[in-house]
Every structure is written in structure tokens, then in C-alpha cells.
């Protein structure tokens, strides 16, 4: 038996990408939800605005788990207004130590105008070095494309995100081109 067995129905895939360039921040997410080899939804909305439009969040993983984490993040943002890093660290700490939260299977990509963070259930709060971050099955493809486009084109953050997501959708079978894009 594989060491990576799952008790769920085999839900796969998504790609979430954050790009920051020239004072603009964008998070893009594809719309595909797959169960095994079957696409069960093509227009899911995996990117949200939080904190009165000051924060963007995208998620990969189990939808109900991600919504639980986003609700917790919103509470942390109310507790620590305009302190995204502190809210993310506090969420990651709770996520890692709380018996209920520890079982949640999702990853968050969170951004404001100044910062981007990847938040995981193992306590990671990672800020990228190059102004872009990605999560999900097509995340590495989108990240590589965005990094290549950041320094080598005059495209703005949204155009880079759109192009990088299109590249990821061409490579990753669990990513589609039906995008939700939120920007600051």
C-alpha cells in the first residue's frame, strides 16, 4: 500500500498564483475541481478578497477545509488590522497546534499590497524572494512561468498572472483556463 493513501474521494488539482509587480498585487486561481480522472466542476471560485478589500487569499486543497482556514484568517485580520504577517503567523500556529485544525488539508496563498505569504498546516509562513508564489498541482508550472515573465517582459502583474496560468493549464491536467483574478 502506498504511504500516500487518502481517505477522501481522490480530489485533485488547482493552481493558485500570486504576482506582485510595480506596486500591484494579483492572485489568480483556476476553476477546475477534479475527482480522480473526472472533472466535476470547471468554474469554482478559489480566490477571495478579505479585510474590506485589503487582503487577497487563494486556496488549494479541500474546499471546506480552506473555507474554515479563511474564516480563521479573517478573524486574525480583525484582531491584527493591517498586520498581515502577524495574522498569518498566528493562523499557522493555531493550525499546527489545534487538534481539529491539524487535520485540515489545504494551503493558502495570502497577499496585501506589500507582501505575499504561503501558509501551510505544518506551520510554514513563507514569503517569496521574487514577488511571486504559487500553490496547487500546477503551482510549480505557474511559478516558473511567472518568474520568467517578471524580469523579462514589460507585462503588468495581471498580464503576467494570466499568461503564467495559461502555461500551467497547458501542462497540468488538473488546471483549467477558467480564471478568477483579484487585484490590489
User: pLDDT tens digits, residue range 11-23?
Assistant: 457 899 999 999 9
Q: Is the per-residue pLDDT at 117 higher than 80?
A: yes
Report pLDDT for 6. 39
Average pLDDT value for residue range 145-165: 96
pLDDT tens for each residue of 157-183: 999 999 999 999 999 999 999 999 999
Report pLDDT for 66. 84
pTM over 0.75: yes
Report pLDDT for 159. 98
14 is catalytic: yes
Cell of 39: 472533472
Q: Is the per-residue pLDDT at 27 higher than 70?
A: yes
pLDDT tens for each residue of 47-70: 999 999 999 999 988 788 888 889
Give the span between the Cα atoms of 84 and 109, in whole angstroms: 12
In the three-class reduction of DSSP (H, G, I as helix; E, B as strand; rest coil), residue 179 is classed as coil
Give the span between the Cα atoms of 96 and 45, in whole angstroms: 26
Cell of 89: 503567523
Give the span between the Cα atoms of 75 and 71, in whole angstroms: 6
Give the span between the Cα atoms of 56 and 52, in whole angstroms: 10
Quickly state the pLDDT bin for 9 (edges 50, 70, 90): very low
Give the span between the Cα atoms of 118 and 128, in whole angstroms: 8
Report pLDDT for 12. 53
pLDDT tens for each residue of 83-104: 999 999 999 988 888 777 767 7
Report pLDDT for 5. 38
Nearest Cα neighbor of 27 from 105, 104, 172, 131 is 131
DSSP bridge partners of 38: 35
Cell of 158: 495581471
5, 6, 14, 118: which is the annotated catalytic residue? 14
Cβ contacts of 39-44, under 8 Å, gap ≥ 24: 39/176, 42/176, 42/178, 43/178, 44/14
Average pLDDT value for residue range 143-156: 95
Per DSSP, 131 falls in state: S
Q: Is the per-residue pLDDT at 3 higher than 70?
A: no
Amino acid at each position: 500500500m502506498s504511504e500516500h493513501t487518502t481517505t477522501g474521494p481522490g480530489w485533485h488539482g488547482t493552481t493558485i498564483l500570486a504576482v506582485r509587480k510595480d506596486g500591484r498585487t494579483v492572485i489568480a486561481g483556476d476553476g477546475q475541481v477534479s475527482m480522480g480522472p473526472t472533472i466535476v466542476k470547471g468554474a469554482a471560485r478559489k480566490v477571495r478578497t478579505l479585510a474590506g478589500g485589503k487582503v487577497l487569499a487563494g486556496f488549494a486543497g479541500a474546499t471546506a477545509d480552506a473555507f474554515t482556514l479563511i474564516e480563521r484568517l479573517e478573524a486574525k485580520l480583525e484582531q491584527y488590522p493591517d498586520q498581515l504577517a502577524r495574522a498569518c503567523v498566528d493562523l499557522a500556529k493555531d493550525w499546527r497546534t489545534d487538534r481539529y485544525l491539524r487535520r485540515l488539508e489545504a494551503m493558502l496563498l495570502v497577499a496585501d499590497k506589500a507582501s505575499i505569504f504561503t501558509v501551510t498546516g505544518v506551520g510554514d509562513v513563507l514569503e517569496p524572494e521574487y514577488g511571486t508564489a504559487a500553490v496547487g498541482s500546477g503551482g510549480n508550472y505557474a511559478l516558473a512561468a511567472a518568474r520568467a515573465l517578471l524580469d523579462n517582459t514589460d507585462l503588468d502583474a495581471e498580464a503576467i498572472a494570466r499568461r503564467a496560468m495559461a502555461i500551467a493549464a497547458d501542462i497540468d491536467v488538473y488546471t483549467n483556463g477558467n480564471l478568477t483574478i483579484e487585484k490590489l
